[in-house]
A and B are shown apart, each in its own frame.
Chain A
């Protein structure tokens, strides 16, 4: 029996993005954004887009693989996959699913993509219209708990309370994203630096989160191309090998009405150990980290659950200097992330993780070999992944 692992079996050889827009500002329909990102990824990989034979996405992406395959004139479609549930928590899960398909021989060239035009469709941060609420919504909406921020703030509030974490910890995460975005011309918040004073003076969205603790909402698309590792050297750019991926959530995380037994978590307590076990690396080996900011408190818990520091060390660890590229202990969200580059539902984080290994980031860490991505926290299922250079294989 062979070792059941994705470690070293596949590589990301192409990355593509559209321009990033404020929500509702995309000149293109959502399907066109998806096509443009996929074609950009193929160009980056140096391949004919007709070599693509599969698609994986997450969060119920509306751009159906069969339509994409028809539109792109693909000779055949061999893999069509949607990570089930968890919204932005599925970003690394979609990569894992694509990787499993390629490693298992189901397909040879799978695109992971996400496309969003929130002007064309309903915004995430606005309540859906309608007169009644049922099921989980019935236990929340009549009390004014409707948006994702309102849905997850109490998880973070409990964690901050249990561990006596002060305002500075969440602020440091926001400041790092904004500082990195100032170096990134693609970032929506490029040219709009954030100071600690401006953060402190910003309005509450929902306590414990201020305006700058919350992600943007944007239009755009991003795509990655995944191929078998043994072919990875034949492409135009330096490959980023998948060392590990894991997805899921702990015991009864999805219990309704906020009844997850381990409530004050980002849902990674069981996922993170699987990730490190597969990748064969430890937190101290991680050279650069992209961690999905739906809300800064979710990042905080993600970092704890992935073992970068203990909860009681959060106040000391989470200071801006530690999170800045290139010199910080743990360079975090080096493109500006969901807070300040673009809310591409987190897939821009995977793109940035690849860029770091290639040496192409606008906030480049010196000679990184292990590049990690944590997808959307506090939802279920969540997912995370670790990429490595050829030297880590």
Chain B
């Protein structure tokens, strides 16, 4: 059971492989992000070079799926045919203080009309879409 109705575009790794470790990680239930092997800087979204020390030796590490709501929105107007009968839904931008305050986006699980509190603690929930072509797993968020 997915938060949003099926039929939205399926995420696939870029053809240069940049973000493949992230999408492969979600399939295993692991949240993988970039951390520079040279200087330790956290980096998200993925890029080929460390924005701090300009090292190309940028690694991937698993981080704990928890954070704080940094911002949010509630779309009501459907812009994709798959969401025609969806009704409102919540998107949150979550800051990960234990990973250099990088931010990740997802849906806030639960009542789509619930109040959203900026600063509230949330944890990651892996949402597999095994029947999608190709299969993928999304990282969603719920209040802790």
User: Contact residues of A with B, CB < 8 Å?
Assistant: 125-127, 130-147, 149-150, 153-155, 157-158, 161, 203-208, 252, 255-259, 263-264
Contacts and interface: CB of A to CB of B under 8 A. Distances in A.
Nearest to B23: A138
A144 B4 contact: yes
Nearest to B102: A259
A380 B113 CA distance: 32
Contacts of B103: 257-259, 263
A278 B75 CA distance: 40
B31 to A, nearest CB: 13
A207 B108 CA distance: 14
B1 to A, nearest CB: 15
B117 to A, nearest CB: 10
A157 B79 CA distance: 20
Interface of B: 4, 8-15, 18-19, 23, 44-47, 51, 70-77, 79-80, 83, 86, 88-89, 91, 93, 102-107, 118, 133-134, 136, 138
A257 B45 contact: yes
B76 A135 contact: no
Nearest to B136: A142
The 3 A-B residue pairs with the shortest CB-CB distance in the complex, in nearest-first order: A256-B45, A257-B45, A138-B11
Please indicate which of the listed interface residues A142, A157, A255, A256 has the most CB atoms of chain B within 10 Å of its own CB: A142
A206 B73 CA distance: 6
A125 B79 CA distance: 7
A255 B45 contact: yes
A206 B23 CA distance: 28
A257 B11 contact: no
17 contacts: A132-B11, A135-B14, A138-B12, A138-B13, A144-B91, A154-B91, A158-B70, A161-B71, A204-B88, A205-B77, A206-B75, A207-B73, A252-B51, A256-B45, A257-B44, A259-B45, A263-B71
B87 to A, nearest CB: 11
Most buried by A among B46, B77, B88, B106: B77
A145 B105 contact: yes
A203 B13 CA distance: 36
The main secondary structure of chain B at its interface with chain A is loop
A222 to B, nearest CB: 26
B73 A157 contact: yes
A161 B86 CA distance: 27
A143 B13 contact: no
Contact of A141 (B8, B15, B19, B71): B8
A223 B14 CA distance: 38
Contacts of A146: 79-80
B72 to A, nearest CB: 6
Given A144-B107, A154-B73, A161 B118 contact: yes
A346 B118 CA distance: 33
A134 B136 CA distance: 12
A134 B91 contact: no
Nearest to A130: B9
B105 A143 contact: yes
Contacts of A158: 70-71, 93, 118
Given A143-B105, A144-B4, A206 B74 contact: yes
A257 B71 CA distance: 13
Contact of A142 (B10, B13, B45, B74): B10
Given A132-B9, A134-B14, A257-B44, A143 B71 contact: no
A133 B82 CA distance: 15
Contacts of A154: 71-73, 91, 93
Contact of A140 (B70, B86, B105): B105
B45 A139 contact: yes
A380 to B, nearest CB: 14
A153 B73 contact: yes
Which of A134, A140, A158 is packed against the most chain B CB atoms within 10 Å? A134
Which of A136, A144, A205, A257 counts the most chain B CB atoms within 10 A? Answer: A144
